[in-house]
Structure 1
Amino acid sequence: MPRQLSVPPFYQPKAFSPANSIGYLLRRANKLSMARAEAAFAGNEITFTQWIVLALVSNGTAATCAELSRNIGYSSGAMTRLIDQLEARDLLVRRRDEMDRRVTRLALTAAGHVTFTDLAAKVVDRWNEVLEDFDREDITRLIATLNRLVARLEAIEEQGS
C-alpha cells in the first residue's frame, strides 16, 4: 500500500534539476567545503579526515571503528588504516570494552586532545569565513534543518526502505 502523504510532494519530475536537488546541493557543498578544509590542513601533522576522526571520538559521536565508518562513509578496511595511523602518532588508542570483549573502543590520548583542539581553530575559521554573509538565525535554521534531514534519513535507513 502506498504511503499516505499529508502534503503534496515537493518534487515533480518535470521541474526537477540540480539547481533544486537537495542531494546535488549537499554533495556540491560537501565537495567545496572539504577542499577548503583539506587545503587548510596542508602542512599539518594530520589530514582533515584524520582530524574529523579525532573530533567524532572526542565528542562521543563515534567510539568504534564501525561507528566511524558509518559516520564518514569509509569502508572498515580504510577506517582501520586511518585509525592505525592515528594510533602510531599516539593520538588515539584502542581499548577492549569491559562489558563485551569483542568490541574495541577508541579514545583520544592527551596528545590527541591537544591536536584536536589546536586544529579546531582552522575549521572554525574556514566556516566563519564561508558564513560571514549569513545571519545567526539563518545559520541556526540551516543546522536545525540539516539535523532533521539526517534524522529522517537515518530513520528511513533503519526501516530498510
Structure 2
Amino acid sequence: MNPPRSPDMTDSPTYSFPTSRCVSDDNLGFLIKQVYHSLTRVLDRETAPLGLTARQWRPIIMLASGKANTPAELARLNDIDTGAMTRTLDRLEAKGLIRRTRSQEDRRVVNIELTELGHEKAAGIPPCIARSLNHHLRGFSKDEATQLQHMLLRMLANGSDGKPLGL
C-alpha cells in the first residue's frame, strides 16, 4: 500500500523544523507517535469486547479487506518482525479466527484466511475504529479533519519519495 504522491510544492514555501525543537515535547514526530499510541490504547479498549488486541485486530482487518494473505505480508504491513507475526497468528488460530493453508503454487508459502468466526469478528472492527477516531477528532470540523488527513498523506508521500534527506 503506497501513499499517494505528494503534490508538487515547488511554488510554496517549505517548512524547516528547527533543530533546537527536536527534543521538545511539541516535536511533530513525538506528537504523531503519541497520537498513534493514544489511538492504539483506545482501540484496544474498543476491541476488547471482541476478544482482540491491537496486535490481533489489525491482521484480521487486513485479511478481511484483501490487503494481505501471508504471514510475511501481514508482518510488513504491521511493521513487526515475522516471528512476532507468527506468534500473533498462532493466537488467532487458537481462537478459531484464522486458518493456515499451504499454497498450491509454492509449498513454501503459507496462506492465511479468515474462518467464519474470523469474518464475524472482522465485521465488528470498523465500528471500533470509527468510534476511536471520532473520539480523537472531537471538536474538529469536517474541513479540519480533511485537512489533517491531506497533510498526513503528504507527509507519507514525502517520506516514501526515495529522495535523499534535505532535498
Classify the TM-score, shorter chain: 0.7 to 0.9
Q: Match of 2:159?
A: 153
Q: In structure 1, how many angstroms separate the alpha carbons of the residues matched to 2:73 and 2:102? A: 15
Write the mapping of 1:8-157 to structure 2, written as runs, cut at 5 A: 10-156=16-162
Amino acid at match of 1:63: N
Residue pair 2:47, 2:57 contacting (<8 A) in 1 also: no
Q: Aligned residues, how many?
A: 155
Q: Once the 2 structures are TM-superposed, how far is the Cα of residue 127 of structure 1 from its aligned partner? A: 1.5
Unaligned stretches of 5+ residues in structure 2: 1-9
Q: Normalization by structure 2: what TM-score?
A: 0.76
Higher RCO, 1 vs 2 (CA within 8 Å, ≥6 residues apart): 2
Change (3 A) 1:27 1:87: same
Residue pair 2:71, 2:82 contacting (<8 A) in 1 also: yes
Residue pair 1:18, 1:25 contacting (<8 A) in 2 also: no
Q: Once the 2 structures are TM-superposed, how far is the Cα of residue 160 of structure 1 from its aligned partner? A: 9.4
What SS is found at the alignment partner of 1:42?
Answer: helix
Q: Identify the range of structure 1 (140-149 vs 80-89) with the bigger mean alpha-carbon deviation.
A: 140-149
Deviations 1:5-32 (A, max 9, x none): x565612323545455332111110111
Q: In structure 2, how many angstroms separate the alpha carbons of the residues matched to 1:56 and 1:68? A: 8
Deviations 1:79-122 (A, max 9, x none): 10111111222211223334333222222222111111124322
Residue pair 1:90, 1:109 contacting (<8 A) in 2 also: yes
Change (3 A) 1:15 1:48: closer
Amino acid at match of 1:56: M
Q: In structure 2, how many angstroms separate the alpha carbons of the residues matched to 1:19 and 1:115? A: 38
Q: Once the 2 structures are TM-superposed, how far is the Cα of residue 61 of structure 1 from its aligned partner? A: 2.4
Backbone CA RMSD of aligned residues: 2.7
Q: In structure 1, how many angstroms separate the alpha carbons of the residues matched to 2:82 and 2:138? A: 37
Q: Identify the range of structure 1 (8-17 vs 66-75) with the bigger mean alpha-carbon deviation.
A: 8-17
Q: In structure 2, how many angstroms separate the alpha carbons of the residues matched to 1:86 and 1:154? A: 32
Unaligned stretches of 5+ residues in structure 1: 1-5
Q: In structure 2, how many angstroms separate the alpha carbons of the residues matched to 1:33 and 1:8? A: 29
More helix by share: 1
Change (3 A) 1:67 1:131: same
